[in-house]
Structure 1
């Protein structure tokens, strides 16, 4: 992982990014691998790119280790998924640091309530819980968070 770089995703990588996304999601214990899920995630990548996603990958010498989807105009960190083989190696922290270069003052995100490992990590990284509500498209209870850069005057 020493040569890992974060760079913009290329369109020809979308299918592989969808696979990494699915494997990472499944690793949370909240879903199961299926051709249906994979097809939906791959289609969603293309749809979200048309709707303004900035999509990045963590590239480990040609292997996609993680995906990061930002919606910069909305100051929204939409997706951060690290492939199972790369979890526990501080790659999420590296992706979050990169995200803060893209949105240095403020950002929002949401996380599935049952994905306690993820939302506890975001809280440790300085995100503040704002609300929770059901996401109608998938039925999951979502926790909404906000991060703001601390002003240096305090």
Structure 2
């Protein structure tokens, strides 16, 4: 007679929760170890009312600031003047913080923080969670009466 091994009673009862916990652990492991990159190195900033006045770039991942003038009037950004609808690409090669005068943004300046590429592990997991927080924080607010842009 052959015996069949079964799961422990606790896992039999809570297998959906155990599967969810395993999936969460695997996703955290992937986030900490998977390489960064892919796609464009540009971070787009549409200058218009409500645009953020601080940005974070990462060397080797997103290290080019693409500035687009959506104000309908000429825009001054540091020593550069952009016509309405014009674009300006500003690459960064060193980590640090820089302030650029831009009267169209709240406070009249744009603070650009450039951070080095994070190492695999906790640092990369922290970086990915910070990028997710930035993306959520900078979502444009649209009412139900507004259509797509």
Instruction: State whether TM-score is above 0.5.
Output: no
> So what's the TM-score if we normalise by structure 2?
0.25
Task: Flag the structure with higher strand content.
Answer: 1
> So what's the TM-score if we normalise by structure 1?
0.24
Task: Flag the structure with higher helix content.
Answer: 1
